[in-house]
Structure 1
Amino acid sequence: MTKYQEIADNIAQSIRNGEYPDKLPTEADLISRYQAGRNTIRRAIDVVYRSGLLRRVQGSGFYVNHMPATSNAIINLVTRADVAMHNKHQHLTSHVITFDKIKAGSDLAQSLDVSQSSELYRVVRLRYLHAALYCLEVAYFTLQAVPFLSTEAVNHSIFEFLHEAYQIRISDSENLVRLAMLTAEQAAVMKQPVGRTVLALDQTNYYGKGVPLNYSTSYYVYPDLGFYSRSFPVTAG
């Protein structure tokens, strides 16, 4: 385990233990505490942030997300984390069904702000939590943002790869949670009944100054799943 991962685990455990009830210490304080460089601390904070335990407030720092522990798995719509687990030993694993390039149709072209027939990476994978089926994920990435996507990343964490390879961080996202009925093809892949009603999450992620990175739809069948969101005060202009 790398130094920044060790620090990330320690910070996450400190949050769970209530040591940081509201706000993470400053970057300078963490550098002093862990005797680590600035880049190492920033990478550690980013890992904790992407796990869903923190939210970023511009100009103020990182604050703790107080998510109710009513579910074993929580998807954090505030931080766009794939899944935030209350137990750090819970990890998603993947079984890749399809990994290829396709031409964008009209709907994908509109969602990703690319021209029709632009090449996209397509990733279709089953995701598991503790060997139980968690979801079917169908994702598309623009080649403008991601010129190369590795097989190893697709089998593990795509967003960690994008951060390390291209320094890409998600700056914003659009999320639509809806009910969907599984098609025959989806049901066959998931080994579920055709027409079963499941929760679906349509998500478009953006990076930089609002540039589309990827579009995905995930179909969830995990029996103990929660979605977390948080509203913020709207300041009149």
Structure 2
Amino acid sequence: MLKYQEVADRIELAIKDKKLSQGTRLPSLNELISKYDVSKTTLVKALTTLEDKGVIYQVQGSGIFVRRQKRDGYIALMTNMGFTKDLENNKLSTKVIDLKIETPSAEVARELNCAPGEEVYFIKRIRYVDNNVLCIEQSYFRKKIVPYLNKEIISESIFNYLTEVLKLKIGFSDKYLRTDILKKTEAKLLELPNNSPGLYIDELFYTASGEPFDLSQTIYNYKHANFFIQSGQK
């Protein structure tokens, strides 16, 4: 994890732990620089990240203030680090459907910029929230960048493993959303009737250096998935 992301997470955690309300003024820029022992550039990037997420807002000449915290059980659509943190107050569980190493299709190889013959991990799993089916996840991870995965790892938060164990520095992602009628196999896994609607999110994740490493598709159960977006200031 990049330093500014780490600082952003620490500030956000402090806001949540102290249950700071809308409009609470945070310490000054210089005080935060001293507290977190970082450069001004790093702190400004951390604050920008939090502002983009809707955690804080800044008023020129007045300071840094806390925004209203999101409702429990809602998933942030603007994040690129999975939804485990968003649902930390809910019971999350995972059922692994598939885990294997394979040579990717031409389309997957193109998206991930794989070299000829390069292998990927393919995983498929069902995620549950409070014992209800939340979504189906299918992902391709470049083995060159994510050299090892097992059933135990993918039964938990993969992104925690990537950042905390592999020390992978995750940068940004491209996200595409669409709605469609679920296929019969998808509806069955999501425990929904045939011809039910579904939200499909295709996402391509990059390292901090801009190298693609994870191509994922998440299909959400419309009955149990709630989302929010907080816009930043203009």
TM-score, with length taken from structure 1: 0.70
Count of residues paired in the alignment: 207
Q: More deviation in 207-216 or 8-17?
A: 8-17
Cα distance, 1:22–1:208 mapped onto 2, change above 3 Å: same
Q: Does 1:163 align with 2:167?
A: no
- In 1, Cα distance between equivalents of 2:27 and 2:104: 42
Contact persistence 2:21–2:66 (CA under 8 A) = no
Which runs of structure 1 show a deviation greater than 3 angstroms over 4 or more consecutive aligned residues?
5-11, 15-25, 52-55, 62-69, 84-88, 229-233
Q: 1:189 aligns to what?
A: 189
- In 2, Cα distance between equivalents of 1:107 and 1:65: 41
Q: 1:108 aligns to what?
A: 108
Q: 1:226 aligns to what?
A: 227
Identity of aligned residues (%): 21
Please give the per-residue CA displacement for 1:138-188, whole angstroms capped at 9, x wherever unaligned. Answer: 111001111112332201011111112221132111011111322222223
Any unmatched runs of 5+ in structure 1? 32-44, 56-61
| Paired amino acid for 2:226 | L
Q: Secondary structure at the match of 2:34?
A: helix
1:87-236 map, 5 Å: 88-115=88-115, 117-223=117-223, 224-228=225-229, 230=231
Higher strand share: 1
Higher relative contact order structure (alpha carbons within 8 Å, sequence separation ≥ 6): 2
Q: Secondary structure at the match of 2:198?
A: strand
- In 1, Cα distance between equivalents of 2:208 and 2:91: 28
Q: More deviation in 190-199 or 106-115?
A: 190-199
- In 2, Cα distance between equivalents of 1:15 and 1:29: 19
Please give the per-residue CA displacement for 1:70-112, whole angstroms capped at 9, x wherever unaligned. Answer: x7322331x3142276774224321111111121111111111
2:34 pairs with one of 15, 25, 28: 28
Q: Secondary structure at the match of 2:18?
A: helix
TM-score, with length taken from structure 2: 0.71
Please give the per-residue CA displacement for 1:31-80, whole angstroms capped at 9, x wherever unaligned. Answer: 7xxxxxxxxxxxxx9xxx8xx6758xxxxxx99665653x7322331x31
Q: 2:73 aligns to what?
A: 72
Any unmatched runs of 5+ in structure 2? 1-8, 38-45, 57-63
Cα distance, 1:73–1:110 mapped onto 2, change above 3 Å: same
- In 1, Cα distance between equivalents of 2:180 and 2:116: 26
- In 1, Cα distance between equivalents of 2:91 and 2:28: 24
- In 2, Cα distance between equivalents of 1:82 and 1:215: 13
Q: Secondary structure at the match of 1:82?
A: coil
Contact persistence 2:84–2:157 (CA under 8 A) = no
| Paired amino acid for 1:80 | N
- In 2, Cα distance between equivalents of 1:141 and 1:206: 11
Offset of residue 202 of structure 1: 0.6
What is the RMSD of the two structures over their aligned residues, measured on CA atoms?
Answer: 3.8
